[in-house]
Structure 1
């Protein structure tokens, strides 16, 4: 059996190379975590890699696409409501139940998921594979992330209960703007010089996109392993996290589809709402967590986000491939 055959078989279950690399990265951090000087050296590298990622996002994104996407107000409002209204309410409902069985930091992590923006690359890719409104998905995902830079930490600050030991320092918002929004804005300014190159050669952008996430995952979980995360999170606790993430994803997907149908959206817009409205961004969530939860046990807070991200990729990959098969 060839490697290509094995990869094709795994892909039918949503397990592509990126998924396997994410799992291997967690295993690498578990058995060979970054420590001491090596861990300290990774911090500035991670910071600038994330800044480079959002610079490339800005350079690739057509301003005309965002402007034209605003005309489809049902789709844009639908994605924003799912992302920044439905999810925070679900996070608030889930947190009190989760902390009965799991550490408080993990309950905070579920609330944190609710405050994050939508994915960019994966939601657009899944929309495209399914035959959905790609331009609408590009606009919706981009607006979600731009709004999320400011709104996500503010939402979390409002929703997090006092006495949990977790909060948002006002200076954190400015740090997030510096690392994410400013590079994006500079990328937009540089777009006339770089757009043709980035559209012609997509591989460098993909390397930065995937590589930045893998690097952040490795550094976050390395810190967690050094602090004994796997002594706190038992196999039973991990199964509970997976189950709660599955329920959260299922509810978000069901509500997004129901809302889209109730609004009379065409199939193409409904698919864009489904993928953009039910997914959460790891690329934005991890660096933001590094700023918001600096000095705290970040690995426990982002563990639900990691699990949710892997789960959403698997489920969306399977659904999008089935949708593509129907169109064939």
Structure 2
């Protein structure tokens, strides 16, 4: 039986003309660009444009005529690589980079080591209250960095800290964590306390994705829980470890809120303790936004080079292991 062909009618009763297949195909091809348009505009306005403006500022400087008073006394002129040459020989910027290097040597291995151990413990069948424990470990990551630095900063002060009160009652020595070498441990503790939970979640999620058959086969072969953790779980979550290490490097090079928040509590933290603090001081303290832009570009380039080099080395190693 032949089916009756339905006709569509518009609002005024006239037959509705269906679009041709070519028109539908053309609309389908252009649809992804409409979906990408909002993200592209936001990327251009809030990411690409600020980077381009920073580059433009870093290549200019302000020339002052006379006393710098009156119209035309301050003129923005082309400086080329002058700001970059000054930043490259800036001792304060280099000292800040060395301090951040020492800070990162403490934070990154301790934080990732704790995250891996905690993730392996939570992945064990013998652990109870896993959801509560996982949430408790992750909770410090939800605390803003400034709030965490203030919290630990007052815990470091001998006059208000309950830890120092207990040490005093026990007759034990009371170290000053905000002076000298212990300052690195104090700052590192804040970063480890806040970042371990996030890295633990990333590694733990990767562990939960491992098929149970792999563990069953290892148990049938007589592998102990420790051997399963070291020889199966850790190698299989290596991509997650690379990812967390990558994020940790970037966060370490961009450390700013912790030392800035602790600065009013101690004289050991200068305004140029980290490279980003040096950029902030030059831009808003000294008013030299062009030199600060050059320093910010150098920090961004160094971060990009280190991150890209690490990822390239990790990918090369994975390819070598896969080819064996």
TM over 0.5: no
Which protein has the bigger helix share? 1
- TM-score, normalised on structure 2? 0.29
- TM-score, normalised on structure 1? 0.29
